[in-house]
Amino acid sequence: MTRMVPFKYVGFFDVPRYIVLSYRGQLLLLRSEFDEELDDYEANYSVFILPESVWDSVQEGNWEFYDKTAMTGIGRIPVSAILFDESKRAELDASCLDDLITRFGADD
């Protein structure tokens, strides 16, 4: 089932590389960093749970929280598994995150 969810992002190369979205009661960060050895971006998003306290900063476009915030890693998902809206800059189908959230033990 498609669950298109709005997101905020910084960094874009083919797709957004740092994405924050609220889904199933969790604030999530999806991160695909540049790998110097590969000379390319990682093929997977690392997925983290963020504290709700950073949401206002994200909404305002302030990503200073990134280096200052403890994040809980819950897994990885292939970048290719993410279905984005046509622009790749507004919404994504978050149902691909369901298994990670369930394994982490988050409630709906």
Q: What is the mean pLDDT of residues 28-46?
A: 96
Output the average pLDDT for the chain. 92
Residue with tokens 């292939």: 78
> What's the structural domain count of the chain?
1
The model's confidence at residue 1, banded by pLDDT at 50, 70 and 90, is low
- Would you say 46 and 30 are in contact if contact means Cβ atoms under 8 Å apart? yes
**Which range marks the domain in which residue 68 is found?**
4-104
Q: What is the pLDDT of residues 82-108, one digit of tens each?
A: 999 999 999 999 999 999 999 887 554
Going by C-alpha positions, the residue among 19, 23, 21, 22 that lies closest to residue 33 is 19
CA dihedral 106, 99, 75, 43 (to 10 degrees): -140
Start-to-end CA distance of the chain, whole Å, equals: 16
DSSP type of residue 88: S
Q: Is the pLDDT of residue 34 over 60?
A: yes
Chain-centroid distance, C-alpha 57: 15
